[in-house]
Structure 1
Amino acid sequence: MDGLTHDTMATSSSRKCSAITGSARKIKDNMADWHNLMLKWEKLNDTGFNIITNISNMRLSQSSQSSSSSSSLASADTAADLQDQCSKLREIVDKMVAIVKKMERLMTSQRGLQDLEDFQFGPEGRKVPLFHTWSTQQFVASSDILCEAFQQEVKLKQVVLQEVAHSTNSDLCTVYLSCWLHQPFIPAHVRQTLEALLLETGHRPL
Structure 2
Amino acid sequence: MSKKTPKRPSLDLNLNTGFSSVTLHKSPAAQSPQKNLTGPPRVIRDIIADLYNNIQRWNSLHIKGCSIVKEIASVKADTPKTYSTRLEECITSLYAVVEGLKINNDVFSKLVTQVYAFGRLPNIDDTVFFSLSASNIAERCVEVCEAYKKEFQAKQYILENIAYTRTTNDVMFLAAYWTHQLNITDKVNFVLKSLLVESGHRPVQ
TM bucket, shorter chain:
0.7 to 0.9
Give the corresponding residue for 2:194: 196
2:109, 2:145 within 8 Å by CA — same for their partners in 1? yes
Q: Point out the structure with the larger helix share.
A: 1
1:32 aligned to which of 33, 49, 62: 49
TM-score, normalized by length of structure 1? 0.78
Whether 1:96 and 2:94 are equivalent positions in the alignment is no
| C-alpha deviation, 1:103, in angstroms | 1.1
Q: Which has the higher contact order (CA 8 A, sep 6+)?
A: 2
Give the corresponding residue for 2:136: 138
Give the corresponding residue for 2:39: 22
What are the ranges of 5 or more consecutive residues in structure 2 without an aligned counterpart? 1-26
Deviation >6 Å, runs of 4+:
12-15
Amino acid at match of 1:145: E
Identity across matched positions, percent:
24
TM-score, normalized by length of structure 2? 0.79
SS across alignment from 2:95: helix
What are the ranges of 5 or more consecutive residues in structure 1 without an aligned counterpart? 1-11, 67-77
2:61, 2:101 within 8 Å by CA — same for their partners in 1? yes
Quick one: structure 1 residues 16 and 186, their matched pair in 2 at CA, closer, same or farther if it must change by over 3 Å?
same
* Alignment root-mean-square deviation, CA: 2.1
Amino acid at match of 1:50: S
Give the corresponding residue for 1:115: 119
- Equivalent pairs, count: 176
Distance 2:29 2:141 in 1: 27
Question: Can you list the C-alpha shifts for 1:28-80, whole angstroms capped at 9, x where unaligned?
Answer: 1111111111111111111101101111221222248x7xxxxxxxxxxx822
Distance 2:28 2:67 in 1: 49
Indicate the larger mover: 33-42 or 187-196.
Answer: 33-42
